[in-house]
Amino acid sequence: MERFLGGWSSYLYAVLRIVAGFLFFQHGAQKILGLLGGMGGQGATADVLTRAWFAGIIELVGGAMIAIGWLTGWVAFLCSGEMAFAYFLAHAPQGFWPILNRGELAALYCFVFLYMAAHGAGPLSVDALLGGKSRR
């Protein structure tokens, strides 16, 4: 498969960045804007200056910035930290295994964003358009 897809790896990474950023953005849209069912499926939003509100701001703005590839390394590092914080604060106390404590999504986002922080935006990004390093 590497021979077949290897030549496309930088563009497939860009697709991963765009999709992960857009999905993360949707979590923020629920918390901050009450869209997509809002919090709890009732259109509710997070109360201002609460942990959920700060998380929602990071998810909304950070997800959009990752999707378009702007300041990707810094933003992805912040988002990775938020997901680590969310995992250990909300999920780990419910048990050890992520699949049982419902923390697998937070753990996955944490490590995907950590990789993006190390890798950078890649092609198809604002960072690449502005002349930053598009890939390593």
Domain extent listing, the chain: 2-129
C-beta separation of 125 from 76 below 8 A: no
* Under 8 Å between Cβ of 119 and 13: yes
Q: What is the pLDDT of residue 106?
A: 97
Per-residue pLDDT of the chain (136 residues; tens, 9 = 90+): 888 889 999 999 999 999 999 999 999 999 999 999 998 888 999 999 999 999 999 999 999 999 999 999 999 999 999 999 999 999 999 999 999 999 999 999 999 999 999 999 999 999 999 986 544 4
pLDDT for position 40: 85
Q: What is the pTM of this model?
A: 0.91
Give 39's strand partners: 44
Answer for the pair 110, 126: CB distance below 8 angstroms, yes or no: no
Task: Tokens for 49, please give them.
Answer: 């200056």
Structure tokens at 42: 């009732």
For tokens 């753990």, name the residue.
107
pLDDT on residue 133: 54
Q: What does the alpha-carbon distance between residue 92 and residue 131 come to, in Å, rounded to a whole number?
A: 41
Locate tokens 């709890």: which residue?
40
Q: Tell me how far CA of residue 98 lies from CA of 19, 26, 87, 93, in angstroms.
A: 22, 22, 9, 11
Tell me how far apart the alpha carbons of residues 46 and 30 are, in angstroms, rounded to a whole number.
Answer: 9
